[in-house]
Structures are given as structure tokens and as C-alpha cells.
Structure 1
Amino acid sequence: MMNKSVVFSLLLLVGFLSPATAQIQEKINWERFLSRNDLVFDSLSTKWEEGAFLGNGLLGIMVYRENPNTLRFDLGRTDVVDHVEGINPSIGRARLPIGRFLMEVKGTIKNIRLRLDLLKAELAGTITTDKGIINLNAVVAATKDVVILNTQTIHNEKLVNWRWKPEPALSPYLSLGRDSASKYPSNPPGVIVKEKDISFNHQPLRAGGGYTTAWKEIKTGNIGSLLITVSSTYPNDNSMELAKKELITINASSISEITAAHRAHWLKFYQKSFISVPDARLESFWWIQQYKMASATRIGAYPIDLMGPWYKATPWPKYWWNLNIQLTYYPFFSSNHQELVKPLLKMIDDNIGNLAKNAPQPYQYNSAALGRSGPYTMTSGIKVLKGNDSTSASAASMELGNLTWLLHVYYQAYEHTMDKRLIKSLYPVLTKAINYYLNIMEKQSDGKYHLPYTYSPEYPKGVTRDANYDLSLFRWGLNTLLHIHKVLGLKDPLAVRWQDAVNNLTPYPQDKLGYRIGRDADFSISHRHYSHLLQVYPIYEVNWDQQENRELIQRSLKQWENNNAAWRGYSYTGSGSIYAMMGNGNKTHQLLNEMMKGKFSIKPNTMYLEAGPVIETPLSAVTTMNEMLLQSWNGTISVFPAVPDAWRDVSFNDLSAKGAFLISASRKNGITRFIKVKSMAGSLCLIKTGWKSNIKAIGKREFKISPQQDGVLKLDLKAGEEIILYSGQKPLDFILEPVKSDGQNYWGLK
């Protein structure tokens, strides 16, 4: 009997080399295509989660109703935070409210028709009253930190009245009654002043710094523009001067220039990647999340916390490190928007000293750690000690794996760009994170290294020795350090210890139900977090390609699903991603649709709420959708690995794969027509196409396609080169275009 790989080689033998050239034609009318994915509001409610949101990566507004006859425009800026040290960071280092502008009209509002135009990143439409009509156009400019609210009144409606309603600089943790505000010194009250045509609301902070909201109106007849900016500074308080500088040069003629630059910015952003699927609701959801990502962060701004620039009172007004920020940032990579991850990487780079201080004093000389939550400065301590079996410490201070998981996100930036500067920056902090584990592990009588009590988030009884959460991240960190060590040609004496730990680390605890939480904790209570399954996803150390692990993966996943009373939105995306790894696109599709409904559903504007906004859940669904179309793990790229049966036609362009590859593909009537692979760095390319035989290639030179085992092809692409693959007869064209849609706009408020 012939070897499977030999048969595959023979099937490929005919016609797989071709010097001919062909080009992918992108037949995408961006205006027409994105319009089918716009958010449409046939009304507005008084709910934040049903409003229209705009942002430029730093400033944001949320538009909804204050009351039946007044619209409100809530302001947010991601770096408007307090700076009080030495107290609960939910109070002392919290996000702070700014305030809102109220749009007051002469008549009684009868109906509202607004559309959030994704392509232009503008909110436009009409407010009809019993006196007339107000045409509204709202923009948060992409290239200048200014909110532009344009209005035109018709008939007996007069120019709208804009009323400023500031909020006190008080942590929402206090305003929601989670603690008593009377226990803490308050910030000074804000001061409103006016200089010529600019009004200022200056808010000083007791700990230093401050923030200023500034605005001015430009009126010509029945046309008016309200221009708003927010400036935040620390430790000096020159926010008023900066706000004035932002507005003083803007006049009626420059508004059109700002708007033109804004539109050009957004078109360029969207064109970096593309997907179209025959589930119109999910397709629109994907594109709205792309818009949300670029509205929520940008180079030079803060990373995204739980709410982004759309402030809402929440008990969680800071960063969460045990899942939220990780899930928030994974979709940026596969969507080919790695540039938007830079603020997160900078935050880590800037705070290595604080990360070291988060470790217990005996380990601070060589370790780093990160507790459950905290401010931008990443101050959040861990209290796990070697040989200490005491569980008296708080669960939050025993979540040892959080930093290493965050560094797994950092490593994705390298894997999707192959920029060695990134792993040079990552190496020192990852070394410190893994040193903590090395400091506390102990070799026991079985000859294996074991970990002391830590906490597996967010399991109700998750304090355990040998937590799978920590074992998976520890093992990933060790292997990654060994890989970086090799790639950079280093001679670190720690490498011997890393290899010893890899070789002798205890296996993952498991039982008849599948993976346990840890040695002392089985999985028998409903658990929304997949902290005990990270070795399966997103690390893929245990994966579906390993035949010997398939039954264990299925058993563990079944046990998690069968105990789903505590599930939340990201439970559906996490399990959906595991099913996608298994190639079960039907189940992934089912889980994504289940996430859209129920008690904790995705809201009409695609935001997600529990006790407060938690932005990671809808963004994590983008990762899951991308993994239905393209996966890249353990060195292999898979194209259309988990497409549900219902998706007969699918197309995507320039999704990013690890190894720094941009992949495009088209599927018609359930058959893949072609795949384009572009190498950005010249790394080894191993790819699964799903085709069984007669695979051919078109490029600017002859390319060698080397078949490997299990349907994998090896391509010899150099940096900057691209190749088009197809099977059988050459397609009449290589066109990438949107699939047919039912023409319905699913998101917004109907």
C-alpha cells in the first residue's frame, strides 16, 4: 500500500508549476457594500446600549435620548482618569465621566431616522417635530480631536439649542454605591468660563492634572455646527490651553477639509481587509466591529479598557487582565489591523518596572506579575509563594497566569509581522513572568515539577495546585522563550532551565469528565471562563491535529457546554473557536447565533453589557468568525477550515495569518475557486487548501509546491511575493466580490 504523502505527491505532479501571472480583481463597490452593513435607527431610546456610537480612537460620543423630546450626546475620552494612589484603583485610578450635550428642539419630536454610515464613520439623518425637520450630521474626526455636530433646520424649527450638562469627577464605583464617597476626599468642582467664542468646562483633579471640555458654535442662517473637544493632561494641568488650541483655528470652511480627511482615513482603514458571508446579520456584525475597533483605539492613545471611549457608569472602570483585554485584542491580528495593537504593546513596555513590583518582595529581583485588574500603570499585585499551601490570600491576588496570557497577545504581534524588534522587546518581560513560575515550582516524588496553589479565573472553587490555567501558560512561556532564544541567536544561561522545566512539568490534570480546573478542583460547577482549556484554545498545544487528544478535547468541551448556566457572551465565542479548530463550522455558526440572543445578548448597537460595558465579547466574536475562514496555528495555515454547510458562497481578502502572510480566497457553490497567498516576510509557508489533487499555482516566477503529510503544501515564497492557487481547470476569472445579501440592515434600533 502506498504512503498517503506519496499518493498526494503524485496527484500534485501535473501542472503545479507555472510562470504565468494573474491578478486578483477586487470587485468591491465600497459605498454600496458597506451601506448594507450600516446601523439604521428608526428611533432612539433612552438606553446607552441602543444608541449610535462614533469615535476616533481617543474621543467618543454615544447618541441616544435624554427624554422623549431631547437627544443626548455623551462624551468620552479614554485617558480621562483619576490619579490617586494608595486606594482602591476602582476609585483612585478610575475612568471618570465628562458630561453630555443635550440637543433641545422647539417642537415635539415625532420621529427619528438616523443612519450610522460605516464607510464615512458619520451619523446622519432627520429628527422630525411638529414644527419642522432637523437634519443632523455627526462626526468624530479621525485626524483631529474634535466632535462636529452639524444641523440644518427646516420649516418652523429654529436653530437647535445645545445645552452642556457636565458630570462631577467621581469614580462610577462610588456613584453606583459600591463604596461610600464620603470616605474619600473629592475632586474640586469644574469651572465653566468663556473666552470670545469658545466655552470651557475645566475640571481640575486633586491628585494633579485635569481635563477640559471646550466647545463653540458656528451659525449661518438655518445651518449650525457645534464643535467640541476634550483635552486631558497629567501631571501638569494645561488641558484648557490644549483644548483652546484644538478649536481656535476651525471655521466654517475648514470643517469640510476636516471631514474630507476623515473620510479618506476611514476608507483606507476598511480596505486593509475584507470578508463577505451569506449570513447578512453576522457579516454586518463583523464590519461594525471593525469600525468599533478603530473607533476605540489608535496609535498614541490608551489601549481599550472595558468600555472604550463610550463612557457609561460601571463597577469596572479600569483594565481587566484575566480575559477581557486578551479577547479584546486577538481579532486585530487576523483582521490585519496590527497597527492598532501598538498602544497595548507600549503600555506593557512602559510598565515593566511596575510589573516587577507586582511580584512578592522575595521574587521582585527577577520576576514580574499582574493581578486581576488595575490602571494603565499596570499596578496589581500577586501573592503566590513557593511552598505556601495557604489559601488565605484573595483569589484576585492568586491569578498568576494573567501577565503571561497578556504576553501571548504581545507575541501575536510578532507572529503576524515577523518583526524581530517585537520579540526583542518581549523577551525581557516574558523572562520575568516565567521566572516567577520557576521560583515557585517544586519537583515532587513523581519526578515532575508542580505548582503551588493559584487561582483559575473565574471558577467558583478555583484555588488549586497545578491549575491548568497556569500550567498551560507556563508551558507556552517556556517554549516561546526557547524559540525566541533560538531566533535571536542568544546565549542565555536560563535556556537550560527552561528546557528542563518543559521536559519535566507535570501533565495537565484530567479525569473522566475531561480537563480539571487543577489538581484539587474538578470541573463540576458551571463556569463561564475557559481558563482550564487554554492549552486547547488559544494556545493550541493540545489540538485537533493530534488524533490521540481528540476524545479528551471533545469530553472536556462537552462537560463545559453541559454546565452552561453561568455562561456569558464570550463563553459562546470561546467554545465556538474550539469547534472551529475541530473543523465543525456548523456548531461554531450555531454558537455565534446563540450568543446574539438570550439574557446577556449582543445589544442592538452591537455593544454588550453585564453590570457594565464589556467590550471584549463582541470583539471576540470577530476572532471566532475569522477562524471559520482562516486559521494559523502550530505553523500551518488552513483556508476555509470551518465554513458551515449553509455558507455556499464566501469570500475574504487580506486576512492575516501567522508567519506574516496575507491570505485571500473565494468560495462558490461550496467549492474553493482560488486562494491567494502573499508573504510579507519570506517565512516558511505551510498551507492546507482543502483540495485533494491537481493543485496549480500562478505567480511572477515558477514556484515550487512541495506536498507534505495530511494535505499540507509547502510554498517557497520570498518576502513581497504572492501566489494564486487553484485546483483543476483554471477559473475564468479571479474575482473577489461580496456575496449576495438579503438587503436588510440588521443592526441599530428598529
Structure 2
Amino acid sequence: MPSTPFSRRTLFAGTAAGAIALTATGQAHAAAIGVDDRVNWGTYLGGLDPVWASVPTTFYQGPFLGNGGLGAAVYRISNKLAFKLGDTRVRDHQGTGGTNFGNARLPIGHLTLNTTGNVTDVDLRLSLHNAELTGTVTTASGVLNISAYVHAEQDVLVVTATVKSGNEKVAWTFTPSKARSPRLDFKPAPSGLKTNPDPKVSGTTCTQDLAAGGQTVTKWQINGDTMYATVAHTFPDKTANAKATQTLAAATSNAQLRNEHVRWWNSFYPKSFVSVADTRLESFYWIQLYKLASATRRDRPVLGTCGPWLEPTPWPGTWWNLNVQLEYWILNATNHQELDSLSYSLDRSRDALVANVPSQYRSDSMGIARTTQEDLKGGVAQPGADGDPECGNLLWALHNAWLGYRHSMDDDALRNFVFPLLRKAVNYHLHFLTKDSKGVYHLPKTFSPEYASSKDCNYDLALLHWGCTALIQANQRLNLNDPLVPKWRDVLDNLTKPPQDSTSGYWIGADVKFNKSHRHYSHLLWFYPLYEHDVTTNAAHRDALTKSVKHWLSFTGAQQGYTFTGSGSMYALLGDGDKARGQLVTLLDKYVQPNTMYKESGPVIETPLSGAQTMHDMLVQSWGGIVRIFPAAPAAWASVTLHNVKTEGAFRISAVRKAGKTVFVRVKSEAGEPLRLHPGNLPGPVEVRELPSGNQVSFQQNADGTLTIPLARNQDVVISTKGANPDLVIEPAGANTKRYWGMP
């Protein structure tokens, strides 16, 4: 049976059920103990690498490289191996038609390894550890050795190709793409949209001037067997050529560039470790972390739906009503705030967020539209307005920022970034709340993403409720004495209850029942990811979520991949690890492509990334002030290893599960916050020892199965069965001998 947050039978072995016990310190001469990290990262990740024994012919089959700005997708085009270039910073600036047309992300073109013979076979491996593609390419004229990477910190694609056998020769050509919005292949052009000039190729430089000003320049150079390429985009100035020239001038030594690149990536992964005895999902998980680091960095543009790899798509921008939020969740547990371009973009775009709301509300409010580019400019509708006013997106994006704060407990970030933006985002909704004759607050019509508009829309109600709760918590922590605290409390006390019924669960809103297939779970944000309703202690909430998920999934026509990641995380919240894993297996079977990308009408990057977060939700949860270890580990994951997984409260968690039982839990506090821990199905009675001294640490056993452990900043402890003294070994949960991803 999967472990659940409620099981405390083993924890209280030898203690009266429901009793509260306090264990005192002791052992003046305890033996020193420590964590033994035995992970060989090169070997471990090497066993999870995607490989190609067949020639990839589409983006969804091929390897992908990137550094958060420049990207390259590798697959066969016109019988040759091509490196299709993309860049998160390359877009139009006309304005006409907004994000999807006049401001759309623009395609660049592809570099072709112009071999004498057509490509007939490949033997390729994408090393996750080194972020490098290596192997052989076979053509009708011979065999080439090849290696390729996009430098981790410089905007340079480096490809080395040498003849291994036969009469093959190596040359490079560049084929530019037209600088037009990909959406034009799906929708007609808006009136006034200008056609950009044709690109001009001269020698090893391609210049793409834009009708609105600015330009994109692609430049490449050959040095022996190695090709170096870069892309530069400038606006409004036409200085991209100088920028590209400068970048390539610094790219003179492949050996030096590769050493820098490999060093960055080798130091990237060990910040956390997650291993489950389920090779297909384990490999999928680590490819998602590679993907996110290839797609974005803190100082790069906020992620668009495609990442840096722009393919045919009706969505050439950033979507704020689900996509962007799901894209970033995994960076918290993995401790990779250096990838948080979402928070950085929100912080630096405050003026745009203010300008997005109607002028009469700009003194105290902020908002964001459904879609924007990296400047975050996009007018937000007014609640109650005609059409479908989608108003809650900024609140949801700021929940991501809040999670970033909660995992770091950085009070400066809370004071200077999260609180002031959240205050203004909540204010926008407060302007439109009205009380009825019974003193209950209601919202006018707003839009539940991709479903319908309704009064008292659950999407907005849940986000507003969370926002007021978070503001009150922040105000108390920072001692701000904000004058709006009484208003926030009034809203929490008197906000209308979520529209629902006892049969089907939560509705879209007061005017709209949930009665058709819907890929989004916007009506269920109360439960996940906001956790405003606690299903572990409140039977009514648990029943409501159970019915809501069942009803939601009963309509199958419009489901998509993130239907299964979202429902998987909700099953994890309910403690049902087997169902959660089942949703992930369905995701992989039906929706995820050979290289772990995902597509609907075009590539959308958020769904596989959120699948990795579902795995986190099965293994560690930390909402509501409790850190829960293995809250929904499925029976299939009898062996699990976690190391330095970050939780809310800024705790670093290590834990090992073997034969379906928790062996030990190690917690290091980075901020000295109060720790309340549920140790999963760790057999009791338990003890807490300090690392490295081995001294006993006082703790309190609570009636709900949790432990309260007072920890100072940087204090490190291990929780285990009393007297067991387990070896604190961190190593992979199982052997990975089968390849699942790529085209093995």
C-alpha cells in the first residue's frame, strides 16, 4: 500500500495512540555520524541519457541543446543533418496584433551539415551530465564522428565533425527562415501587419532586418573541423552584426569553451538528487531538469510556450493562464533559483504590470494579460466587462514567486519583491468585490481559462483567497502594520464559498457547472497548487476534491497532457501514489514524444516539466507548515533516494526508502524555521540525532503523526528508528540498464 500523510501506526509503536511525547537530549559521548554521498554523477546520469539508433526527422524526435537564450534542435532536413536555431530573444516589434502577430517570436533558420552523401543512419547520445551530443553520423559516402553543444554561458553553438571512414567531406550551409509569425500558418494576419524584409546571406553571415526596426544576425565560422555559430538580436538599433562578431571573436578554442561548458553543467546537477526504482520515469525526470536549464536562466527572458526551440506553433509567446506557472515549479525542490527568469521578469517589469490595468486603477493595482512577450506588456481585462475578462493570471504567477520565497525564506525578497507586487495584484480584484445583503463578498463575471465566464469564478476566488492569506502572513513576518490588513481579513472571513455541489464537486463558477471535457484544472486551484483547502484534516474538503477530480476526468474529449500531471498531483495530495503514478504513465504513453517534448497544435514545454513536479509531489510535500516525507510513494517505488531536496521553510531533505519502508530522514535547516515533519512510514519509536556529533536532539511527537523539531539555522539532523543506526548512504535507488528516450 502507498504511504499516506495519515498513517502513524509505526511511528507510535510503543506509545499510546494519540499521546504526545517529548524526548529529551542525551548521550554526552555519542558517536559521530554523517551522510555518505556515493553518487557518481557521470555514471549515474550516463545511464539515463537519451540515445538515437535511428535518424531523427522531426523536432519531437531529435536531440535539443540550449543555454536559456540560444537553442538548437537536431534532426534531418532534406536528407542532411541540420541544427535548427532558435533564440528566446528573437522576436518582432511591430505591435500590430500583439503577442501572436506583430510582437511574435520569429524563426531564424538552420545550419546544415552539408555532407556529400545523404544521411542514412546515426548512433548518437545526448550526455545529460555534459550537455553534449556525441556519436556518429553515417551517410551514403562514409561515417562522421560528431560532437555538439551550446555553450552554457556564451551564445555559441559548437559542432565538431570529422571523417571516421569513407570518402565523406564536411561543409556547412545556412538556410534562413522567413521572419514571420508562426501563428500566420494558423490564423489570418491582422490588418496593418507588415511583411518583414527578406533575409540576406553574405558569406558566413545572415542579416534579417525588421520592418519595425532592429535586426537579427546569424553568424558562423569554421576553424579546422569545428563550426562555431551565434545569433544576435538588437532593437531598435541595427547593431546585431557587431554583437555577433564580438561573440565569435571570443570563440577561438574549442578545448577552452568545452571545459567551461562541461564545468558549468557538471556543477549544476548535484544541488539535489532524486532517484526512484523506475527507470523510464527516472530518466524522464532528469531530462526535464536538463531541459529547463537549457531553456532558461534567471537573466534571460521568461519562458515562452516553445522554450528557445521555435517550431510551427500558434503560440509564439508566453502564456500566463497556466503554461508559465507549470514551467517553473520544479526549480524549487531542485534548488535551482538561478533558473528563475519568471520572478526576475516580474520584478524588472513592474511598470508594465501597472500599465496593464485600466488607467483608473494604476495607482494601486497590477495585472497581466493572457499572453505577452518578455516585456510583460499586455492589457488585462476588467472584471465584469463584456466578453471573457481573464483577470487572475498575475496572482497565479505571483504564487510561483511566493513558492520561491517559501523555499528560500529570504525576507529581503519577500519585503522588496513578493509583497509589493502581490499587494497590487490583490488590490485589482478588491476594486470589484461587492457585498450582498448577508455581508458575503462576490466577484463579478471573470473568465475561467479556456472554459467560460461566470460570476464568482473559482479560478479568481481561489487566487484572491490565497493572495489575502499570503499578504497577512507576510505582513506579520515583516512587522509591516499594513493598513489593508483589516480588509484582507474581512475578505477571508466573508468571501463567498466555492461554487460546488455534493455530486460533481467544484463548478467553474456560480453561473457555470462543470459539464464538459476540459484540459485545464483552473476551477480546482483551491486544492492544487494553492493548498487553500486541507484535504488531510478536513473530510469535507477531501470528499470535494475526490468528487471534483473524478467528475473532471470523466469527460475525456478535450484532455491533454497536463490534465494528467495536474490530476496526478491531486492524487498525490490525497495520498494515492498508485493513481498518481498511473497518471504519469498515461502521460508518457499517450502524450510525451520520443525526446520528452510535448505537442498539441505546436510544441508546449510546460507539460513534461510539470510531470517532474508531480514526481516531487509524490515524494515530498511541504505545504501548510508540515514537511511530509513520501506522502504518496506508489507501491512500484519500493526504493527511493532523495538528497538535498528543498522544501518550504528552507529545509534540505534527504531520505531513503527501501522495501517500501522509510529508512531515515535527514533535515538541514538553512533558515532556522520551525520544523514540523511527517516522516512517512518510518518504523517507530524514532529518535533524532544531530549531524555530525550524533547527539540526541529533543523533539515532540504530535497526535497527528508529525514531529516538532526545533532547529537552529544550519543545524543538521537525522530521524531514524530508535537504536537502528542506519547507514546514511545516498546512492541510486536502482540499476538503470534500459534506454527509453530518444530513439533507442
TM bucket (normalised to shorter chain) is over 0.9
On the 8 A contact 1:168/1:190 being kept in 2, the answer is yes
* Residue 216 of structure 1: aligned partner: 221
Where 1:677 maps in the other structure, the secondary structure is strand
Please tell me whether the aligned partners of residues 81 and 119 of structure 2 are also in contact (alpha carbons under 8 angstroms): no
In the TM superposition, what is the alpha-carbon distance from 1:474 to its structure 2 partner?
0.4
Letter in 1 for 2:113: M
* Partners of 2:494 and 2:165 in 1: CA distance: 80
Say if 1:17 and 1:640 are closer, same or farther in 2 by CA, change over 3 A: farther
Is the contact between residue 8 and residue 707 of structure 1 (CA under 8 Å) also seen in structure 2? no
The answer to whether the 8 Å contact 1:11/1:694 transfers is: no
Contact conserved, 1:580 with 1:627, CA < 8 A, in 2?
yes
| 1:395-445 deviation digits (Å, cap 9, x = unpaired) | 2xx111111001100111100000112212122221111111111000002
Please give the TM-score of this superposition, normalised by the length of structure 2: 0.94
Shift of 1:592: 0.3
Q: How far 1:108 moved relative to its partner?
A: 4.0
Q: 1:711 aligns with which of 702, 705, 713?
A: 705
Equivalences for residues 263-274 of structure 1 within 5 A: 263-274=262-273
- Report whether the alignment pairs 1:416 with 2:407: yes
Match of 1:576 among 556, 568, 592: 568
**Per-residue deviation, residues 300-320 of structure 1 (Å, max 9, x unmatched):** 211211111111121100110
2:285 partner SS: helix
How much does 1:559 deviate? 0.7
Aligned to 1:737: 731
SS, match of residue 740 in structure 1? coil
Q: What amino acid sits opposite 1:376 in the alignment?
A: E
CA contact (8 A) 2:663 2:726 kept: no
Cα deviation for residue 745 of structure 1 reads: 1.0
Going from structure 1 to structure 2, the CA distance change for 1:633 and 1:20 (only over 3 Å counts) comes to farther
Deviation at 1:476, TM superposition (A): 0.5
Q: Secondary structure of 2:707's match?
A: strand
Q: Secondary structure at the match of 2:666?
A: strand
Q: How does 1:33-432 map to 2 (within 5 A)?
A: 33-67=44-78, 69-174=79-184, 176-180=185-189, 183-194=192-203, 199-219=204-224, 224-251=225-252, 254-341=253-340, 343-385=341-383, 388=384, 392-393=386-387, 395=388, 398-424=389-415, 425-432=417-424
Q: 2:648 aligns with which of 640, 648, 658?
A: 658
Find the counterpart in structure 1 of residue 5 from structure 2. Answer: none
Shift of 1:15: 8.1
User: Which residue among 657, 671, 675 is the counterpart of 1:681?
Assistant: 671
Distance 1:594 1:27 in 2: 33
Partner in structure 1 of residue 4 of structure 2: none
Aligned counterparts of 1:742 and 1:344: Cα–Cα separation in 2: 34
CA distance in 1 between partners of 2:548 and 2:466 (Å): 20
Q: Deviations over 1:139-170 (max 9, x none)?
A: 11113221110011033334312111011211
**2: CA distance, partners of 1:708 / 1:370:** 43
* Structure 1 residue 740 displacement after superposition: 2.0
Residue 710 to residue 492, structure 1, CA distance change in 2 (3 Å): same
Name the amino acid aligned to 1:709: A
Matched residue type, 2:33: A
CA distance in 2 between partners of 1:368 and 1:143 (Å): 33
3-state DSSP of counterpart to 1:435: helix
Greater mean deviation of Cα atoms: 559-568 or 477-486: 559-568
Match of 1:746 in 2: 740
1:566 match: 558
Amino acid at match of 1:563: F
Q: Which letter maps to 1:602?
A: V
Aligned to 2:579: 587
The one-letter code of the counterpart of 2:69 is L
Is residue 2:15 matched to residue 1:24? no
Aligned: 1:504 with 2:494: yes
Q: CA RMSD in A?
A: 1.9
- Match of residue 726, structure 1, among 720, 725, 731: 720
Q: SS where residue 329 of structure 2 aligns? A: helix
Q: 5+ unaligned residues in a row in structure 1: which ranges?
A: none
Q: 3-state SS of the aligned residue for 1:577? A: helix
1:184 deviates by: 2.2
Identity %: 39
Instruction: Tell me, in whole angstroms, the C-alpha distance in 1 between the residues paired with 2:534 and 2:711.
Output: 27
Helix, strand or coil at the partner of 1:186: coil
**Normalised by the size of structure 1, how large is the TM-score?**
0.93
CA contact (8 A) 2:302 2:318 kept: no
CA–CA separation in structure 2 for the residues paired with 1:551 and 1:639: 23
Cα pair distance change 1:444/1:208, threshold 3 Å? same
Distance 2:180 2:391 in 1: 31
Unmatched segments (≥5 aa) in structure 2: 1-11
Q: Which of 532, 546, 550 pairs up with 2:542?
A: 550
Query: Could you tell me which amino acid in structure 2 is paired with residue 573 of structure 1?
Result: T
Give distance in 1, aligned partners of 2:499 and 2:726: 54
Letter in 2 for 1:453: K
Q: Give 1:377-526 correspondences, 5 Å limit.
A: 377-385=375-383, 388=384, 392-393=386-387, 395=388, 398-424=389-415, 425-459=417-451, 462-512=452-502, 513-526=504-517
- CA, structure 1 residues 464+10, in 2 after alignment: closer, same or farther (shift >3 Å)? closer
CA–CA distance in 2 between the matches of 1:710 and 1:338?
33
Do residues 697 (structure 1) and 688 (structure 2) align? yes
Distance 1:473 1:182, change over 3 A: closer
The count of corresponding residues between Structure 1 and Structure 2 is 723
Deviation, 1:10, is 6.6
Kindly state the Cα deviation for residue 702 of structure 1 after the two structures are TM-superposed.
Answer: 4.5
- The CA deviation at 1:710 is 0.7
Which residue pairs with 2:596 in the alignment?
606
Question: Given the alignment, which residue of 611, 622, 627 partners 1:621?
Answer: 611
The one-letter code matched in structure 1 to 2:515 is: S
C-alpha distance in structure 2 between counterparts of 1:135 and 1:725, whole Å: 51
1:288 & 1:54 partners in 2: Cα distance? 12
Q: CA deviation at 1:335?
A: 1.8
Shift of 1:360: 2.4
Output the CA distance in 2 between the equivalents of 1:480 and 1:689: 27
Q: Which amino acid aligns with 1:237?
A: K
